[in-house]
């Protein structure tokens, strides 16, 4: 699976997996989470500290959870998944 900025994470990428993957810096962990769907994605999330820290990641870029840039990232992700 190839991760690119346009959220072309492959046909098996699911929105819940993508959302959970934002909690991790490690690209391999991100790839592994993007394939999970629904409850399985939520259960695969072992990073319980992200909420206290308020930092999320995509492709090595750090985002503050409440920043406009993060909201734009979410919009791009949802838009990309709705087209696939």
pTM, two decimal places: 0.76
The dihedrals phi and psi of 76, each to the nearest 5 degrees, come to -60, -40
Between 51 and 8, the higher pLDDT residue: 51
- 9 and 21 Cβ atoms separated by less than 8 Å: no
Average pLDDT over residues 47-73: 86
pLDDT above 70 (res 3): no
Condensed to tens digits (0 to 9), the pLDDT of residues 9-37 reads 454 568 888 888 898 888 888 888 888 88
Domain boundaries, the chain: 15-83
Closest to 14 in 3D by CA, of 45, 40, 39, 37: 37
Between 83 and 57, the higher pLDDT residue: 57
Closest to 11 in 3D by CA, of 31, 27, 41, 35: 35
């Amino acid at each position: 699976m190839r991760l690119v900025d346009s959220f072309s994470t492959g046909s098996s990428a699911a929105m819940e997996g993508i959302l959970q993957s934002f909690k991790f810096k490690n690209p391999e962990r991100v790839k592994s989470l993007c394939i999970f769907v629904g409850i399985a994605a939520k259960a695969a999330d072992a990073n319980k500290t992200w909420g206290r820290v308020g930092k999320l990641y995509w492709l090595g870029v750090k985002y503050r959870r409440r920043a406009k840039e993060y909201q734009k990232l979410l919009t791009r992700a949802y838009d990309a998944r709705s087209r696939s």
